[in-house]
Structure 1
Amino acid sequence: MHTLPPAASHGLRRTISRRDALRYATALAGVGAAAVACGMPTATAAPPRLIDFAARQIPAQAIRAAGYSGVINYVSTSRPGASFGAKPITRSYAESLANAGLVIVSNYQYGKPGASAPSDFTRGYAGGVADARTAWQLHTAAGGGQSAPIFFTIDEDINRDTWNRVALQWFRGINSVLGVQRTGVYGGINVCQWAAADGVIGSSSTAGRRWAWQTRAWSGNQVDPAAVLYQRIVSTASNPGPLVGGLAVDVNDVLAPDCGQWNLHGGSGPNANQL
């Protein structure tokens, strides 16, 4: 059984030196790492990219060969009737990624609209407590960093009233287990900004950035300036993403040197100056 973390305080946003920013950018590995030394892409260098996927584990060398810097992987199990080979991330798979010089970020999603289990956020405060406990157990079992955030998913377009009445309570349940600083959010731009404004997600060590992983869906071609990750390509049956190791994947831009990757937060991964 894994010991749950002491609840983290809301905490002040941390800042990093230029030296640390460059070190963190190196830790990301892959093309364009220098572009995020200052936290944003430039015209001459693409940002590092992470992929996310669920159907099965993609070999680390295939990810590296395709030019990606790492993965965002699930610290949740499959829903009833589903059998996702990449859920949850395992220690052996995490070690294979780290040995290939790839970074790992944790996210949690069990339910989904129209699936065999409803969207996680609909389960309110008690559901948030239960989900956070599951996420932390799976995160630490795989070697996740003790101070690394876990991004909790809102995989649909919700309005402010639903956020206030339901989703916010779910996040407060998560906070009661992990603390705010270890809590992140995945969703459209409004969800990311509401979560930050209501103080239920933590801050990156990159100045001005929060633990917000924004999807392009429901975002109106806008990008939250505080986000650390941006899901630029969303793979669907009608419009599949690029193939990596034979599997269509989602693709995410890294917007900050510290996007919550394990190796910067006491978990498995390459040393900062190894790559």
Structure 2
Amino acid sequence: MQDLPLGTGLRRTSTVSRRDALRYATALAGLGAVSLGGGIPTAAAAAPTLIDFAAKQIPAQDIRAAGHAGVVNYVSLSRPGSSFGAKPITRPYAQSLTAAGLVIVSNYQYGKPGGTAPSDFTRGYAGGIADARTAWQLHTAAGGGQSAPIFFTIDEDINRDTWNNVALQWFRGINSVLGVQRTGIYAGIDACEWAAADGVIGRSSTPGRWWAWQTKAWSGNQVHPGAVLYQRVVSTASNPGPLVGGLEVDVNDALASDVGQWNLHP
């Protein structure tokens, strides 16, 4: 794991003892086994993995057979003109995952750059309110934890001006509905840092970690020490991800014992 110079937001986590590593492992609450070294598992080592996908609901037994500890699943609808089988997560599917010992983390993404709906973060404060209400309704309908965070998506590379003048207002709208503690972000490394520095995402119960799900895209091969999830494999047409249940998936390393999984946030 490569560290960044730290700003006022995401903070460095110190090395932990073997005893603390054991506590980390036993506290994973369904995230699977990790190796117990001298510190917190890194993205390149023994971190449990969660997959994310949209096209269809992958059977729980296939996810387990592939060695993953759970899923990040959508609490959003399909964009106009599309029909994604995994959007939104349904209660029966969530129950099948839980019964198989898999964990679930919630993510919201409706729009997309160049898609039939614009990127969600461009919708401003009022759009943030509307998106948060939709996300929470779908999250709770599927059985999501009452105190679990929802990760809201910035699926493109943005600069600081766009963050300050556009995306930040969207997040503040989300905060007005969910509160900061139930708000997370999916983004590249810079936007994750800005979100924490501006106080619009909550903190994990794992010390030094925030509700920051960082993608390797737009991150310069750096993993921020404050992130709870790192999207190490981003499936694209030119670089497809691994097949699970016949579907190409993205793969995310769990970098904390508490990544916002439902079973830790009833």
For 1:64-213, list aligned pairs within 5 A: 64-213=64-213
Q: Deviations over 1:38-97 (max 9, x none)?
A: 643398x51100000000000000000000000000000000000000000000000000
**2:41 corresponding residue in structure 1:** 40
Secondary structure of 1:170 counterpart: helix
**1:259 corresponding residue in structure 2:** 259
Cα gap change, 1:37 to 1:235, in 2 (>3 Å): farther
Contact 2:43 / 2:232 at 8 angstroms: preserved in 1? Answer: no
What is the CA–CA distance in structure 1 between the aligned matches of 2:38 and 2:53, rounded to whole Å?
A: 26
Secondary structure of 2:27 counterpart: helix
**1:5 corresponding residue in structure 2:** none
**2:62 corresponding residue in structure 1:** 62
Task: Give the drift of 1:131.
Answer: 0.2
Cα gap change, 1:130 to 1:37, in 2 (>3 Å): farther
Contact 1:103 / 1:261 at 8 angstroms: preserved in 2? Answer: yes
Q: Deviations over 1:211-248 (max 9, x none)?
A: 00000000001111100000000001111100000000
Q: Does 1:233 align with 2:233?
A: yes
What is the CA–CA distance in structure 2 between the aligned matches of 1:37 and 1:22, rounded to whole Å?
A: 12
**1:270 corresponding residue in structure 2:** none
Cα gap change, 1:36 to 1:200, in 2 (>3 Å): farther
Secondary structure of 1:252 counterpart: strand
AA of the residue aligned to 1:252 = N
Cα gap change, 1:37 to 1:71, in 2 (>3 Å): farther
**1:269 corresponding residue in structure 2:** none
What is the CA–CA distance in structure 1 between the aligned matches of 2:57 and 2:36, rounded to whole Å?
A: 28
For 1:6-17, list aligned pairs within 5 A: none
**1:6 corresponding residue in structure 2:** none
What is the CA–CA distance in structure 1 between the aligned matches of 2:238 and 2:43, rounded to whole Å?
A: 31
Contact 1:24 / 1:37 at 8 angstroms: preserved in 2? Answer: no
Q: Say which of 2, 27, 45 aligns to 1:24.
A: 27
AA of the residue aligned to 1:41 = T
Percent identity for Structure 1 against Structure 2: 77
Contact 2:125 / 2:170 at 8 angstroms: preserved in 1? Answer: yes
What is the CA–CA distance in structure 2 between the aligned matches of 1:226 and 1:254, rounded to whole Å?
A: 12
Q: Deviations over 1:86-109 (max 9, x none)?
A: 000000000000000000000000
**2:16 corresponding residue in structure 1:** none
What is the CA–CA distance in structure 2 between the aligned matches of 1:229 and 1:50, rounded to whole Å?
A: 9
What is the CA–CA distance in structure 2 between the aligned matches of 1:205 and 1:38, rounded to whole Å?
A: 17
**2:13 corresponding residue in structure 1:** none
What is the CA–CA distance in structure 2 between the aligned matches of 1:161 and 1:94, rounded to whole Å?
A: 38
Contact 2:51 / 2:249 at 8 angstroms: preserved in 1? Answer: yes
What is the CA–CA distance in structure 2 between the aligned matches of 1:79 and 1:35, rounded to whole Å?
A: 43
Structure 2: tracts of 5 or more residues without a match: 1-18
What is the CA–CA distance in structure 2 between the aligned matches of 1:62 and 1:166, rounded to whole Å?
A: 40
Contact 2:43 / 2:253 at 8 angstroms: preserved in 1? Answer: no
Structure 1: tracts of 5 or more residues without a match: 1-16, 267-275
Q: State the Cα RMSD in Å.
A: 1.8
Secondary structure of 1:94 counterpart: helix
Task: Give the drift of 1:20.
Answer: 5.9
**1:52 corresponding residue in structure 2:** 52
TM-score (norm 1): 0.86
Cα gap change, 1:233 to 1:35, in 2 (>3 Å): farther
What is the CA–CA distance in structure 1 between the aligned matches of 2:128 and 2:95, rounded to whole Å?
A: 29
Contact 1:195 / 1:201 at 8 angstroms: preserved in 2? Answer: yes
User: Across the two proteins, how many residue pairs are aligned to each other?
Assistant: 247
Secondary structure of 2:181 counterpart: helix
